[in-house]
């Protein structure tokens, strides 16, 4: 199958392209680097010729509220329009577990808008909502830092390795469209503050992690189960400790 991976040069996209190729598919990595820009439409008609599936694992370069909304709505509208013209039979998009519970956040309002456009379009689709990537745990510290302190809510947290995200998205991309949402997550639950503390310690980062039940996540209030998937989630295999010990210090 010809499968076009939008955002194919990114963290998840590059892993996904490799996995699809290992399984014998013609996977094309598409992004501005390779002359495909979903914001302007540049290169889309050419790259989608003969494609059966499009997987959108792109992300907005800016997470500023208006910029991120403009990114996900314009790029999704363009993609869906060009896909319809090219006869693509399955649109797969990567979203985030709990997106619908995080509408106080500008980033997540944009993900909600992206999901809505996909659901309302005519192309069969699968929305894959993943939990936070292990690779993003330091990013959570960075967006929660105040001086030398990192304030993180001590809520349940079930992150997963980017490699397992790519595997989960790949399996769905080569299967039939679910015309709905599939959740994927990590194999273990933690408290978010605990994991951020462990990641910073492994990085010898001296910031102090403070459990603060009122701390916001990407601008949104969160509670005990906001970030964890439901019982039907498909779980990755990689445990946090194994991932951490394989990371360069």
Long-range interactions of 13-18: CB distance < 8 A, separation 24+: 13/57, 13/58, 15/162, 15/163, 15/165, 15/166, 16/55, 16/57, 16/166, 16/169, 16/170, 16/173
Q: Are 236 and 185 in contact (CB under 8 A)?
A: yes
Q: Which residue is nearest to ligand NAP (CB)?
A: 10
Of residues 68-127, which lie at the interface with ligand NAP (CB under 6 A)? Answer: 75, 94, 96, 111
- Provide the mask over 31-60, with x wherever binding to ligand NAP is found by CB under 6 A and - wherever it is not: xxx--xxxx-----------------xxx-
DSSP codes, the chain: -EEEEETTTSHHHHHHHHHHHHTT-EEEEESGGGT--TTT-TTHHHHHTT-SEEEE----S--SHHHHHHHHHHHHHHHHHHHHHHT--EEEEEEETTGGG-TTSHHHHHHHHHHHHHHHSSS-EEEEEE--BGGGHHHHHHHTEETTEEEE---EE--B-HHHHHHHHHHHHTS---SSEEEEE-S--EEHHHHHHHHHHHTT--PEEEE-TT--BTTB---TTTTS--TTPEEP---HHHHHHHS--
- Provide the mask over 126-165, with x wherever binding to ligand NAP is found by CB under 6 A and - wherever it is not: ----x-xx--x-----------------------------
> Which residue number, 118 or 206, has a Cβ lying nearer to ligand NAP?
118
> Which residue number, 39 or 216, has a Cβ lying nearer to ligand NAP?
39
Please, what is the minimum distance in Å from the beta carbon of residue 162 to ligand NAP?
7
> Which residue number, 57 or 153, has a Cβ lying nearer to ligand NAP?
57
> Which residue number, 54 or 209, has a Cβ lying nearer to ligand NAP?
54
Please, what is the minimum distance in Å from the beta carbon of residue 16 to ligand NAP?
9
> What is the phi/psi pair of residue 173, to 5°?
-65, -35
- Could you say which of 3, 4, 10, 229 contacts ligand NAP (CB under 6 A)? 10
- Could you say which of 11, 67, 84, 121 contacts ligand NAP (CB under 6 A)? 11
Give the interface segment with ligand NAP, choosing from 27-35, 144-152, 189-197, 239-247 (CB under 6 A): 27-35
Residue 170 as a binder of ligand NAP (CB under 6 A): the answer is no
- Could you say which of 61, 87, 175, 213 contacts ligand NAP (CB under 6 A)? 61
> Which residue number, 13 or 167, has a Cβ lying nearer to ligand NAP?
13
Please, what is the minimum distance in Å from the beta carbon of residue 9 to ligand NAP?
4
- Residues at the contact surface with ligand NAP, assessed by CB under 6 A: 6-7, 9-13, 31-33, 36-39, 57-59, 61, 75, 94, 96, 111, 130, 132-133, 136
């Amino acid at each position: 199958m010809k499968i076009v991976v939008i955002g194919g040069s990114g963290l998840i996209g590059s892993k996904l392209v490799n996995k699809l190729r290992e399984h014998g598919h013609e996977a094309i990595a598409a992004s501005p680097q390779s002359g495909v820009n979903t914001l302007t439409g540049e290169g889309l008609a050419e790259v989608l010729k003969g494609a059966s599936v499009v997987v959108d694992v792109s992300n907005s370069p800016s997470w500023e509220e208006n910029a991120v909304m403009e990114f996900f709505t314009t790029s999704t509208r363009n993609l869906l329009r060009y896909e319809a013209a090219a006869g693509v039979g399955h649109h797969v998009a990567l979203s985030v577990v709990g997106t619908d519970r995080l509408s106080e956040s500008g980033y997540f309002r944009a993900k909600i808008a992206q999901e809505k456009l996909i659901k309302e379009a005519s192309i069969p689709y699968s929305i894959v909502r993943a939990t936070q990537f292990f690779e993003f745990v330091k990013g959570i510290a960075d967006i929660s830092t105040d001086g030398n302190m990192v304030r993180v809510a001590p809520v349940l947290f079930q992150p997963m390795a980017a490699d397992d995200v790519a595997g989960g998205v790949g399996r769905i991309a080569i299967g039939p469209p679910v015309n709905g949402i599939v959740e994927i997550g990590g194999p273990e639950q933690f408290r978010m503050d605990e994991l951020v503390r462990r990641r910073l310690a492994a990085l010898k980062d001296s910031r102090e992690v403070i459990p603060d039940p009122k701390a916001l996540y990407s601008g949104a209030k969160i509670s005990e189960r906001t970030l964890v998937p439901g019982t039907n989630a498909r779980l990755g295999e990689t445990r946090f400790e194994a991932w951490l010990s394989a990371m360069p210090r």
